[in-house]
Amino acid sequence: MSKKLKGVSASLGISIGKCLVLNREEFIVTKRKVSLDDIPKEILRFEDALINTRREILSLQKNIEEKLGTKHAQIFDAHLLVLEDRVLVEDVITRIKKEKVNVEYAFNQVIKKHIDTFMNMKDEYLRERVFDIKDVAKRVLSRLFKEEMPSLEGLKDKVIIVAHDLSPADTASLHHKNILGFVTDIGGPTSHTAIIARSSGIPAVVGVETATQAVSSGDTLIIDGYAGVVIVNPSEETKRDYLERQREEIKRKRYLAALKKVPSETKDKRKVSIAGNVEFPGEIGNVIEWGAEGIGLYRTEYMFLGRDNFPSEEEQYKTYFSSAKRVHPFPVIIRTLDLGGDKFLTRPDIPPDLHPFLGWRAIRFCLARPDIFKTQLRAILRASRLGNVKIMFPMISGVDEIKKAKEILEETKQELREKGELFDETIELGIMIEVPSAALTSDILAKEVNFFSIGTNDLIQYSLAVDRGNEKVAYLYEPLHPAVLKLINLVVKNAHKNDIWIGMCGEMASSPMFAFLLLGLGLDEFSVSFPMVPRIKRLIRAVDFSRAKEFARYALSLSSASEISKGLEKILKAELKNKFEEIVTAGL
Catalytic residues: 192, 505
How far apart are the C-alpha atoms of 507 and 529, rounded to whole Å?
8
For residues 297 and 338, is the Cβ–Cβ distance under 8 A? no
Q: Which is nearer to another protein, 82 or 389 (CB)?
A: 82
Positive or negative torsion for Cα 490, 493, 497, 503: positive
Whole-angstrom Cα Rg for the chain: 27
∠ CA 215-216-217, rounded to 5°: 125
How far apart are the C-alpha atoms of 532 and 510, rounded to whole Å?
6
Q: Angle, nearest 10°, between helix axes 561-576 and 482-497?
A: 70
Q: Which is nearer to another protein, 117 or 546 (CB)?
A: 117
Task: Out of 147, 308, 425, 581, point to the residue binding another protein (CB under 8 A).
Answer: 308
Q: Is residue 47 close enough to count as binding another protein by CB under 8 A?
A: no
Fill in the per-residue mask, 201 to 230: x = in contact with another protein (CB under 8 A), - = not in contact. Answer: ------------------------------
Q: Which is nearer to another protein, 59 or 117 (CB)?
A: 117
Q: What is the dihedral of CA 302, 305, 306, 311, to 10 degrees?
A: 90
Q: Is residue 118 close enough to count as binding another protein by CB under 8 A?
A: yes
Q: Is residue 470 close enough to count as binding another protein by CB under 8 A?
A: no
Fill in the per-residue mask, 235 to 264: x = in contact with another protein (CB under 8 A), - = not in contact. Answer: ------------------------------
Task: Out of 30, 36, 156, 309, point to the residue binding another protein (CB under 8 A).
Answer: 309
Q: Is residue 351 close enough to count as binding another protein by CB under 8 A?
A: no
Task: Out of 126, 250, 422, 588, point to the residue binding another protein (CB under 8 A).
Answer: 126
The enclosing H or E element of 206 equals strand 204-206
Q: Which is nearer to another protein, 121 or 588 (CB)?
A: 121
The enclosing H or E element of 548 equals helix 545-555
Residues 6+ apart with CB under 8 A from 582: none
CB of 307 vs another protein, minimal distance in Å: 8
What does the buried/exposed string (b/e) look like for 33-60 if buried means 16 or more CB atoms within 10 Å of the residue's CB?
ebeeeebeebbebbeebbeebbebbeeb
Residue 405, Ramachandran bin (φ over 0: left; ψ between -120 and 50: alpha; else beta): alpha
From the DSSP assignment, how many helices (H) and strands (E) are in the chain?
24, 16
Q: Which is nearer to another protein, 229 or 350 (CB)?
A: 350
Residue 234, Ramachandran bin (φ over 0: left; ψ between -120 and 50: alpha; else beta): beta
CB of 78 vs another protein, minimal distance in Å: 7
Task: Out of 47, 48, 66, 123, point to the residue binding another protein (CB under 8 A).
Answer: 123
Q: Is residue 499 close enough to count as binding another protein by CB under 8 A?
A: no
**Alpha carbon 343 to chain centroid, angstroms:** 13
Task: Out of 48, 77, 268, 342, point to the residue binding another protein (CB under 8 A).
Answer: 77
How far apart are the C-alpha atoms of 161 and 171, rounded to whole Å?
10
Q: Is residue 371 close enough to count as binding another protein by CB under 8 A?
A: no
The enclosing H or E element of 224 equals strand 220-224
CB of 110 vs another protein, minimal distance in Å: 9
Q: What is the DSSP letter of 586?
A: T
Q: Is residue 87 close enough to count as binding another protein by CB under 8 A?
A: yes
Task: Out of 88, 223, 337, 519, point to the residue binding another protein (CB under 8 A).
Answer: 88
Length, in residues, of the chain: 588
Task: Mark the segment that binds another protein (CB under 8 A) among 80-88, 324-332, 387-395, 535-543.
Answer: 80-88
Task: Mark the segment that binds another protein (CB under 8 A) among 117-125, 289-297, 462-470, 574-582.
Answer: 117-125
Q: Which is nearer to another protein, 86 or 577 (CB)?
A: 86
Task: Mark the segment that binds another protein (CB under 8 A) among 79-87, 101-109, 152-160, 578-586.
Answer: 79-87
Question: Where do runs of H (alpha helix) occur along 217-278?
Answer: 236-258
Task: Mark the segment that binds another protein (CB under 8 A) among 98-106, 112-120, 243-251, 266-274.
Answer: 112-120
Q: Which is nearer to another protein, 371 or 499 (CB)?
A: 371
Residue 537: CA count within 13 A, CB half-sphere: 24
Q: Which is nearer to another protein, 72 or 114 (CB)?
A: 114
How far apart are the C-alpha atoms of 171 and 153, rounded to whole Å?
10
Task: Mark the segment that binds another protein (CB under 8 A) among 77-85, 101-109, 417-425, 542-550.
Answer: 77-85
Q: Which is nearer to another protein, 118 or 357 (CB)?
A: 118
CB of 585 vs another protein, minimal distance in Å: 49
How far apart are the C-alpha atoms of 430 and 502, rounded to whole Å?
9
Residues that bind another protein (CB under 8 A): 77-78, 81-82, 84-88, 114, 117-118, 121-123, 125-126, 129, 308-309, 348-349
